[in-house]
A = this chain, B = another copy of it.
Amino acid sequence: MINDNEKVIDELKKIVKQKGLKYTEQREIVLKILMHAQEHLTAEEIYNLIKIKEPDSNIGIATVYRALSFLEEVDLIASITFGSEGKKYESNAKAHHDHLICTVCGKIVEFVDEEIEKRQEKIAKQNNFKVTSHSMQLYGICSNCQ
């Protein structure tokens, strides 16, 4: 598990090299922030975290956006947009999962259900779709907020 982080960084290095692009500290920092995050973060939250955790790096918000687009494109991270809280990112190093979201306090619970995954495959097949990914959110009120 702990070693996973190194693997993801290596993956990033490989992708960058393969594409003939350059490996920069900034992209690495953004990816690391997301790997260590327990929650889903917006671009601005990531930017603020970097300023706190890596005060020497002097990264610009535009670079954060550019790094996020890049990392999402190469599938190292993923984004979801819930309600009015804007686009949020999470690392793809985590196993696949869906989300239960409390509409009162914003709490997010992650879960996986094998049965649902199977049905999704079946539905895609029925419609002649080749599925690349999916996202599912259940909105509701968590036990604390009820």
Taking Cβ atoms with an 8 Å cutoff, the residues of A that contact B are 81, 100, 102-103, 109, 111, 113, 115-116, 119-120, 123-124, 127-143, 146
* Contact status B100-A127, CB under 8 Å: yes
Q: List 10 other contacts, CB 8 Å, given A100-B127, A109-B129.
A: A100-B124, A109-B127, A111-B123, A124-B138, A124-B140, A132-B141, A133-B139, A134-B137, A134-B138, A134-B139
* Contact status A129-B124, CB under 8 Å: no
* A-side interface mostly: strand
With A100-B124, A116-B120, A120-B116 as given contacts, are A130 and B134 in contact (CB-CB < 8 Å)? Answer: no
Which B residues are in CB contact (< 8 Å) with A81?
A: 81
Give Cα distance in the complex from A120 to B117, angstroms: 12
Say which residue of B113, B129, B141 sits within 8 Å of A119 (CB atoms): B113
* Contact status B138-A130, CB under 8 Å: no
* Contact status B138-A123, CB under 8 Å: yes
A119 to chain B, nearest CB (A): 5
Which B residues are in CB contact (< 8 Å) with A143?
A: 127-129
